[in-house]
Amino acid sequence: MLFIMRFPIFASGSNPPSPDSLPIIYSPDYNMSVLGIEHFHPFDTKKYAKAYRYLIEQKAVQLEQIYSPSRPSDEELLLVHTPEYLASIRHSSTIAKIVEIPALRFIPAPILRHGILEPMRLATGGTILGARLALRYGWAINLSGGYHHAKADKGSGFCVFADVPIAIRALWKEHPDLKVLIVDLDAHQGNGNSTILGNDPRVAIFDMYNGEIFPGDIEAQAGVKYKVPLQSHTGTLAYLDSLKQRLPQAIEEHAPGLIVYNAGTDVFVGDPLGNLSITEQGIIDRDNYVMSTAFAKKTPILMVLSGGYTKKSGAIIGKSITSFLESRHK
């Protein structure tokens, strides 16, 4: 059992966190596999392993920095989800709808639970652990999670469990006054997170997304304090400009005790779903900017991976993390 300090040690006046203390949360069981599911969906179900392998092969992180998540309890899932919803995902038809592969409704539910739901559930445990470790060490990265379309009573867009809201509510049991800023830079609007947490004054959401694609959830936008909708093919320069113009103000105004960074790589040029046309270097610069802005404000940050749908996504994540670790060594 990890000893978790009750209050953040990364408090005002302390030094920025050291690269050697970056906790990485990962399990080989994050990776999904159901009878070749990857052939039916653009989602690269092995991207978590690819990102992890990159970090280890490049010696960017040491094995001592790797933390294993544990499976969250039903009580933890019920911090957000309704019992009816959790009962509904026992059925193949519901799972097939959420992951947008209609053919899966013919596959026995136990196979889908093992191949899809359990990896997502474990990733939720990783986000809960990551949030606690971020408060302890100043930063942490869960090499999965960021399922930002899941609502309390409904999953969609490949998102079954609302891992970030669950982790925040779990943290509130220990730190009831903790203010959180969700910085959502996945290409899609994070409509699940804003529907669940948008009315809670302890949370503010900064969401920069392609306003021309899924989910187009107008109702959920009410819960987003800092909305930055973009057009398709925005491109790297304009994208980074928008981020740099808007993010510092959000951090300044909300003054969070924790930032949760939804670092979706589906903004990547050529991604079949995101359509924002951001280069690999643009994603590396983006992640670097968000992390260093959090450090400059002495705010603990948890990064989760969220979407990213090309076969290169795992390596881009590995390169990005390696890049900002190197920058901290300098």
Q: Does 307 bind Zn ion (CB under 5 A)?
A: yes
Q: Does 184 bind Zn ion (CB under 5 A)?
A: no
Q: How far is the CB of 285 from Zn ion (least distance, A)?
A: 19
Sign of CA dihedral 16, 21, 22, 25: negative
Nearer to Zn ion, 77 or 263 (CB): 263
Nearer to Zn ion, 61 or 304 (CB): 304
Is 149 annotated in the active site? yes
- Site stretch for Zn ion (CB under 5 A), options 22-30, 66-74, 97-105, 260-268: 260-268
226 bridge partner residues: 206
The CA angle 126-177-143, to the nearest 5 degrees, is 15
Q: Which of 149, 188, 286, 319 binds Zn ion (CB under 5 A)?
A: 188
Q: Does 149 bind Zn ion (CB under 5 A)?
A: no
What whole-number distance in Å separates Cα of residue 45 and Cα of residue 316?
Answer: 15
Q: How far is the CB of 163 from Zn ion (least distance, A)?
A: 14
DSSP-derived secondary structure for 20-84: GG--EE--GGGS--SSSGGGTSSS-TTHHHHHHHHHHHTTSS-GGGEE---PPPHHHHTTTS-HH
Q: How far is the CB of 73 from Zn ion (least distance, A)?
A: 28
Q: Does 217 bind Zn ion (CB under 5 A)?
A: no
258 bridge partner residues: 180
Nearer to Zn ion, 170 or 278 (CB): 278
What whole-number distance in Å separates Cα of residue 26 and Cα of residue 127?
Answer: 10
Catalytic pick among 149, 175, 188, 254? 149
CB atoms within 10 A of CB 218: 9
Going by the DSSP 8-state scheme, the letter that residue 18 receives in this structure is P
25 bridge partner residues: 67, 142
Q: How far is the CB of 190 from Zn ion (least distance, A)?
A: 9
Nearer to Zn ion, 92 or 320 (CB): 320
Q: Which of 44, 184, 266, 285 binds Zn ion (CB under 5 A)?
A: 266
What whole-number distance in Å separates Cα of residue 325 and Cα of residue 313?
Answer: 18
Nearer to Zn ion, 146 or 256 (CB): 146
Q: Does 186 bind Zn ion (CB under 5 A)?
A: yes
Of residues 189-208, those binding Zn ion (CB under 5 A): none
Q: How far is the CB of 158 from Zn ion (least distance, A)?
A: 8
- Distance from the first to the final alpha carbon of the chain: 34
Active site residues: 149
Interface residues with Zn ion (CB under 5 A) are 186-188, 264, 266, 307
